[in-house]
Amino acid sequence: MSDAGQSHHGRPLRVLHVLDSLAPGGLENGVVNTARRLHDRGFEINAACLRFRGDFAERMPDPAKVVVLGKTAGFSLSAVRRLRAHLLVTGADLLHSHNLGTLIYAVAASLGGRTIPIVHGEHGQLQPQDLTPKRLLQRRILFRLCRRIHAVSTGLRDHLRGHGLDPAGRILATPNGVDSDRFSPAADTAAAKVALGFGPEDLVVGIVGRLVALKRHRLLFDALGRLAGELPNLRLLVVGDGGAERDELVAAMRAHPQAERILWTGHRNDLETCYRAMDLLAAPSEIEGLSNAVLEAMACAVPVLAHAACGNAEVIDRESNGYLAELHESADLAAELRTVLGDRAELRRRGAAARQCVLERYSMAAMEACYRQLYLGAVRR
């Protein structure tokens, strides 16, 4: 097999991603970005969604190669059979699963990795429901059946090791990359704000992601309430849709005493437009691998205030290109925002340093090389 990605059959290496869906999200965005970089460059990329298709399917290099397995509630044998059949149809050389749910199906469909090697990815810190003895045992057993295992940051890799999930030191770190041509600084930040309906002098703090509890939107909403009197030009830009808490969070925004200062855009395909209107991105989640939103904002020269969790500390330097803090309560977040937003010149300086960091360390080319090596290493064994 050559380094171009050719399989031993003299054709592109065929990779089949197994996902819950391709609904907009950080994990899914990473899959799409990697697929677009590798497809037709020595690789053929397919995807199988367990439950439903999702909007990001149209961003895949060949949307026709995305299938839905029709998983029902609980464990679905029919979905296993469909995945097994699709493996044969595509002639896949590798299965690439993402997080525990899809790994279970990848292992079942490949007879424990015997009929086709499995590459498995972990994309976020383990949540409380993942830390039960049963779930930890599942991961320990299933990880042994994978040819390669990767995490999206060294912090996440170390987190998994800390829970005894990598006794042999097999988990690799494969950091996300960002398209720094698409995600680039605003030519005129004031104009970018006005285009979204803000005032040119407003202080715009953004949060980007699905409307789920782990993103901790409510912390930011509460912080706005605490700061409303002190910072009359403070505005929130909430970008994202879907997720288990969608209805509750939308209701919370509409009922907020400062509702007129919150703009919820829903899902946007032009995320760069939103980042360019921000003075700061807030990332208060305590459970992150390496957030795509953090990298995208930084590429747009927007500094990030993040919880000092997992992958954030790898990309954000609290002394130069952003802000890290222990953000456990809304009072913590409000205190940090009060300090950070008081110096616009420093925000701009750190934003410029943030973009430089992305250009040097988190390019799409670097991510492509990382996954190329991951896949080729898996099939060469």
Which tens digits make up the pLDDT trace of 139-181? 999 999 999 999 998 889 999 999 999 988 899 999 889 999 9
Residue 321 pLDDT: 96
> Using 50, 70 and 90 to split pLDDT, how confident is the model at 97?
very high
Residue 243 pLDDT: 87
Q: Where are the beta strands (DSSP E) in the chain?
A: 13-19, 43-49, 66-68, 94-98, 118-122, 148-151, 172-173, 203-208, 234-239, 262-266, 280-283, 304-307, 323-325
In the structure encoding, which two tokens stand for residue 40, read together?
Answer: 């037709």
Closest to 144 in 3D by CA, of 122, 166, 162: 166
- Report the alpha-carbon distance of residue 254 to residue 309 in Å, rounded: 30
Query: 189-361: same fold as 13-177+363-380?
Result: yes
Average pLDDT of the residues in 63-74: 94
In the structure encoding, which two tokens stand for residue 377, read together?
Answer: 């290493």
- Report the alpha-carbon distance of residue 240 to residue 42 in Å, rounded: 34
- Report the alpha-carbon distance of residue 352 to residue 354 in Å, rounded: 5
Could you state, in order of their start, the residue ranges of all structural domains in the chain? 13-177+363-380, 189-361
Contact status, residue 373 vs residue 182, Cβ threshold 8 Å:
no
**CATH numeric code, 13-177+363-380:** 3.40.50.2000
Contact status, residue 157 vs residue 60, Cβ threshold 8 Å:
no
- Look up the pTM and report it: 0.85
- CA-atom Rg of the chain in angstroms: 21
**CATH numeric code, 189-361:** 3.40.50.2000
Closest to 347 in 3D by CA, of 220, 166, 205: 205
For residue range 13-59, what is the model confidence (pLDDT) as tens digits? 999 999 999 999 889 999 999 999 999 999 999 999 999 999 999 99
